[in-house]
Amino acid sequence: MLFNIQKLQSRYPEQWQKSTILLVTAIVTEIFVGGYLSSLAYAKDIQPLSSITANAHMMDELAHSCIFKELTKLIYSAMSTTEKEFFARVLPYPVCWLVDNDLNVWDTLLQEINFGTGRSMINDCRVKLKSPMEQADFSSLIKLAKEIGIDDIDTRILECVESLNRAD
């Protein structure tokens, strides 16, 4: 995540742009984590203690995600047109970073420790996993983006996914 943030920041010269990238990353992370945790909190195919722990974490996140949403609305409404356009342009990036399954990283790690069936496990995951955007719940973030006036957030996220796929 940090590498991705720094890489994106390096493309923009102004400090306010770099700060906005940090801000959108914090917003997306805080709002997304609830959707991610809910998929674990209600899972029936994992250890009960794991889902109970995820549920407790989710409750904590839900308690303060509404504060983040209100702060986002306040900050965005105080931005200039140029700042708002930049905010909307970079908002999809943390979404793309968070849904990345990191299968290449896991493949490398398993190869490093000579885990015998590692490669075939990873290849099974490549076949069985839905596309990252399908398996993640970004409904809260999309709802918030539309509430503040970024109506084309879905298109922006898809374009971001495609551009990052082309860059791989």
Residues 6+ apart with CB under 8 A from 141: 27, 28, 31, 32, 95, 153
Quick one: 17 or 65, whose CB is closer to Fe ion?
A: 65
Side chain identity, residue 75 = I
Q: Torsions phi, psi of 98, nearest 5?
A: -75, -30
Quick one: 27 or 91, whose CB is closer to Fe ion?
A: 27
| Window 24-83: residues binding Fe ion (CB under 5 A) | 30, 61
List the alpha helices (DSSP H) in the chain. Answer: 2-9, 15-41, 48-77, 81-90, 92-99, 103-112, 118-128, 132-135, 139-147, 153-167
Quick one: 38 or 121, whose CB is closer to Fe ion?
A: 38
Quick one: 144 or 161, whose CB is closer to Fe ion?
A: 144
Site string for Fe ion, 137-166 (x = CB under 5 A): ------------------------------
Closest CB 137 distance from Fe ion, rounded Å: 16
Please give the residue ranges that form the binding site for Fe ion (CB under 5 A). Answer: 30, 61
